[in-house]
Amino acid sequence: MALLEVRDVTKKFGELVANDRVSFTVDAGTIVGLIGPNGAGKTTLFNCVSGLYPVTAGRIFFDGAEVTGLPSYRIARMGAVRTFQVVRPLKDMTVFDNVLVGAFLHGAGGAQAREAAESCIELCGLAEYADKSAGGLPIGGKKRLELARALATRPKLLMLDEVMAGLTSTEVKAALELIRHIREKGITLLIVEHVMEAIMPIADKVVVLDGGIKIAEGPPDRIIDDERVISAYLGAKFSRRLQAKREERTNA
C-alpha cells in the first residue's frame, strides 16, 4: 500500500488553478521527485499535502488514513513533515533550540527530545553551530537546519522543498549523501528539486507538473526521454546531458 496517495487534488487561488486534478502515490521506503518549471504548482501541492492550505477538490491519504482537511500539526504528528522553500528558522534562538522544537512535536519531553535534537544536528553537519543563533547561519546552513528540524520530528514521510537550491556542488554532494542516509533509516522522501543532476540519480520515481497538471510520471530513466517533459521543462540540450550521464552509469 502507498504511504501517500494524492487523489485528484485541485487547488485554486481565485481563477488560477495551481493544481489541477493531480494524482500520484508515494510508496513506503522510496524516493519520489516532484519536478517542473517555476510556477508549476509543486510548493502548492506540498502546502495541500501538509495541511497548510485546504484543497479545493480531491482527497489525500496518508499511512492508511484520509488526511484531507486536517490541520497541519495533526498531519505532522501522523508523520508527514515538510521543509520550507523559503527557510524561516526562529532567528533569535540557537540552532539547537530550533531543532529541539521539532523534537517536541510528539510531546516527548526532556532528555529524550534533547538526544533526538543532538543526533539530528550531528547528522546534518551542524554540530559546530549548535549554540550559535540560527539567524546567523549561511544559506546552506539554514537549509540543513530545516532538514534537521524536520528529521527531529521522526517523520515517516519527509517532504523536501528545494533543499539543494543555492548550494555549492560540494554541498549538493553532501546533501545527497544525507538524503541516501535518511532513506536507509526507513524514511520515505518526496523531493521538490530543480537540481536535476541531484534528483535523477536518487529518485525511484519522478512526477512532473506543468501549469498545475501532471504531465508525466515514471522512473527517471524514462522521464528524461519524455518529449513532453523535455519541451515543458528539461530542454533538449539538458535532456541529452542527462541521457549521457545515464549511459555512463549503465556502462560503468
Ligand X SMILES: Nc1ncnc2c1ncn2[C@@H]1O[C@H](COP(=O)(O)OP(=O)(O)OP(=O)(O)O)[C@@H](O)[C@H]1O
Which residue number, 37 or 77, has a Cβ lying nearer to Mg ion? 37
State yes or no: residue 51 binds ligand X (CB under 6 A): no
Distances (CA, A) of 218 to 24, 44, 133: 10, 21, 42
* Residues counted in the chain: 252
Q: What is the DSSP string of 57-112?
A: EEEEEETTEE-TT--HHHHHHHTEEE--SS----TTSBHHHHHHHHHGGG---HHH
Region 64-123 residues binding Mg ion, contact defined as CB under 5 A: 85
State yes or no: residue 239 binds ligand X (CB under 6 A): no
Residue 147 is which amino acid?
L
State yes or no: residue 211 binds ligand X (CB under 6 A): no
State yes or no: residue 44 binds Mg ion (CB under 5 A): no
Which residue number, 44 or 50, has a Cβ lying nearer to ligand X? 44
Interface with ligand X (CB under 6 A), residue from 42, 82, 205, 214: 42
Which residue number, 105 or 158, has a Cβ lying nearer to Mg ion? 158
State yes or no: residue 43 binds Mg ion (CB under 5 A): yes
Region 141-200 residues binding Mg ion, contact defined as CB under 5 A: none
Binding site for Mg ion (CB under 5 A): 42-43, 85
